[in-house]
C-alpha cells in the first residue's frame, strides 16, 4: 500500500491543524519551531502530542509509531519522552513546509484528491492481522470529530495534489483517465499461481505434464511444498507492480512480468527452492486504487522538493526540544540529552543522547526515534506472498 505520509504523521498533522491555537494563548513569544515565515507554537506542539497520546485507539497509534509507549517511566506516568516530543515536532516542521509548497505552486486539492485521501487513510489505519489491535481503519478514521476528520483528510489530499502536479496529472477523474490512456492504459494487477518443489528435475517433469494437458491446480495440490498456496491449487493472489517489487523476492517479479497469461514459466530457482509460475489473469485495478498508483508513481519528486526546501530554509528549534540537523543525507531534530540521570526524578523520560527525531523527506517517515507507517499489508486479494512475506 502506498502512503508517502505515515499514519503517525497523519495524526500529527491532524492535531496541529485542529488545535488552531496561537502563541497568544500562553507566552506571547513562545514557539516550538520557526519554519521560514511560519511559526509552530508551543501550544500547537502540545496539542499535537496530546492528539497522538489521547487518541481513542492507542493500540493502533503505538503500532503506527512502532513504540511500546510514548511516555517516560517514573512517578509521573503522563510524562512524554523527549525523543517522542522531538519526533512530533520534526514531523510538524515537515508538514508545515509541505503546506507552504502547495501555496507556492498555487494548487488547490480537488474532490478526487479528497476521495483518494479518505481511501488511503482507511487503509493506513487498518492494523496488520498480527498486530493485536482490534480497531479497523474505517472505525479509527470515523472516531474523529467532523472538524478533525476534515483536516486530516485535507492534509493527505494536499499531498496527493502535489504528487499529481509533479507527474503532470490533473487530479480529476477525466484527468487520471487521460493520463492512463496516454501511458498504456490503467494500471493492472498480476494474478498468479505457483508450485514450489525441491529440485529442478521435479519442476521440469511437472512442467512437461502441464504442457501435455495436466491441470496446474491439481499438480499444485498434489506436489507443491508451499503450504499457503497448495490447498488453493497454487493460487498466490493478485499484486500490483509496486507490491511485487517490494514484497516478493527476486527474480519472481521479472519472471511474472515477462510471462503471458496462461503460460507456465520455466523452472525458476528462488531462495533455494524451485518454482513453476502461472499467470492466470491481469485485471485492471479498481479506479481509486489505480488512480492512487498513477498519482504516486513518482512521488519521490515531491519528497525531493520538500527535502531540498528543508535543507535550504531557515529552521529554528526551541532548545528545549532539541536542535535542527539539516545533514546532506536527511534532516530532523536531534533530541536533547538532558542533564545527568542522577539529577532527574524521571530519567527515562529523556531521549538517548544524539538521537535524531523527525522527518526524512516528504514521505513522512519518521527519523531514527520515530517510525514509518504500517507496512506489510497483504496484497489486494489478501493472499500472502509466495515466500510467506506479505504482499
For residues 38 and 145, membership in a common domain is answered with: yes
pLDDT tens digits for 191-222?
999 999 999 999 999 999 999 999 999 999 99
For residues 30 and 98, membership in a common domain is answered with: yes
Domain span holding position 31: 7-178+292-357
For residues 250 and 313, membership in a common domain is answered with: no
Cα distance from N-terminal residue to C-terminal residue, the chain: 9
Domain finish residue from 233, 266, 283: 283
Domain finish residue from 283, 304, 326: 283
For residues 213 and 110, membership in a common domain is answered with: no
For residues 245 and 133, membership in a common domain is answered with: no
Specify if 160 maps to a domain: yes
Query: What pLDDT tens digit does each residue of the chain (391 aa) get?
Result: 334 334 344 444 333 333 333 333 334 347 899 998 999 998 888 887 777 776 688 788 677 666 667 777 655 556 787 777 887 888 788 888 888 888 999 999 999 999 999 988 888 888 887 888 888 888 888 877 676 677 778 888 888 998 898 888 999 999 999 988 888 888 888 999 999 999 999 999 999 999 999 999 999 999 999 999 999 999 999 988 878 877 788 899 999 999 999 999 999 999 999 999 999 999 988 888 888 888 877 677 777 777 777 777 888 999 888 888 876 556 778 877 666 666 556 655 554 444 444 443 333 333 333 333 333 333 333 334 444 333 3
SS3 29: coil
Q: Output the furthest CA–CA distance in the chain (Å, rounded).
A: 82
Q: What is the pLDDT of residue 310?
A: 73
Can you give the CATH number for the domain in which 225 is found? 3.10.50.40
For residues 311 and 231, membership in a common domain is answered with: no
For residues 156 and 273, membership in a common domain is answered with: no
In this structure, what DSSP letter does residue 71 have? B
Specify if 382 maps to a domain: no
Number of domains in the chain: 2
* Grid coordinates given for 71: 511516555
Q: How far apart are CA 91 and CA 9, in angstroms?
A: 7
Specify if 388 maps to a domain: no
Amino acid at each position: 500500500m502506498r502512503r508517502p505520509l505515515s499514519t503517525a504523521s497523519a495524526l500529527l498533522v491532524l492535531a496541529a491543524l485542529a488545535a488552531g491555537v496561537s502563541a497568544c494563548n500562553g507566552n506571547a513569544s513562545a514557539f516550538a519551531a520557526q519554519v521560514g515565515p511560519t511559526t509552530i507554537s508551543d501550544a500547537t506542539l502540545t496539542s499535537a502530542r496530546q492528539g497522538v497520546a489521547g487518541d481513542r485507539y492507542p493500540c493502533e497509534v503505538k503500532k503506527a509509531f512502532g513504540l511500546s509507549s510514548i511516555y517516560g517511566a517514573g512517578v509521573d506516568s503522563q510524562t512524554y519522552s523527549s525523543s517522542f516530543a522531538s519526533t512530533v515536532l520534526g514531523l510538524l516542521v515537515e508538514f508545515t513546509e509541505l503546506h507552504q509548497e502547495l501555496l507556492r505552486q498555487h494548487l488547490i486539492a480537488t474532490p478526487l484528491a479528497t476521495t483518494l485521501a479518505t481511501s488511503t487513510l482507511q487503509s493506513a489505519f487498518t492494523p496488520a492481522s498480527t498486530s493485536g489491535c482490534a480497531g479497523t481503519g474505517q472505525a479509527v478514521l470515523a472516531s474523529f470529530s467532523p472538524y478533525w476528520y476534515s483536516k486530516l483528510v485535507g492534509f493527505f489530499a494536499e499531498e496527493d495534489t502535489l504528487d499529481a502536479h509533479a507527474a503532470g496529472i490533473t487530479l480529476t477523474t477525466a484527468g487520471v483517465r487521460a493520463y492512463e490512456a496516454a501511458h498504456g492504459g490503467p494500471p493492472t494487477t498480476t494474478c498468479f499461481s505457483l508450485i514450489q518443489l525441491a529440485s529442478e528435475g521435479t519442476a521440469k517433469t511437472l512442467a512437461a505434464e502441464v504442457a501435455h494437458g495436466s491441470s496446474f491446480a491439481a499438480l499444485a495440490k498434489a506436489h507443491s511444498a508451499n503450504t499457503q498456496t497448495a490447498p488453493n491449487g497454487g493460487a498466490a493472489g493478485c499484486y500490483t507492480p509496486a507490491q511485487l517489487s517490494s514484497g516478493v523476492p527476486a527474480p519472481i517479479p521479472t519472471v511474472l512480468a515477462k510471462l503471458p497469461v496462461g503460460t507456465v514459466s520455466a523452472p525458476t530457482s528462488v531462495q533455494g527452492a524451485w518454482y513453476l509460475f502461472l499467470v492466470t489473469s491481469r485485471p485492471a485495478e479498481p479506479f481509486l486504487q489505480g488512480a492512487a498508483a498513477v498519482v504516486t508513481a513518482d512521488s519521490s519528486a515531491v519528497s525531493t522538493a520538500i527535502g531540498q526546501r528543508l535543507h535550504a530554509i531557515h529552521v529554528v528549534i526551541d532548545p528545549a526540544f532539541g536542535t535542527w540537523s539539516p545533514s546532506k543525507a536527511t534532516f530532523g531534530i536531534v533530541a536533547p540529552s538532558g542533564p545527568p540521570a542522577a539529577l532527574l526524578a524521571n530519567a527515562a523520560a529523556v531521549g538517548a543522547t544524539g538521537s535524531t527525531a523527525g522527518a526524512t523527506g516528504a514521505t513522512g517517515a519518521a527519523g531514527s526515534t520515530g517510525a514509518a507507517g504500517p507496512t506489510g499489508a497483504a496484497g489486494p486479494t489478501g493472499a500472502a506472498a509466495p515466500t510467506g512475506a506479505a504482499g
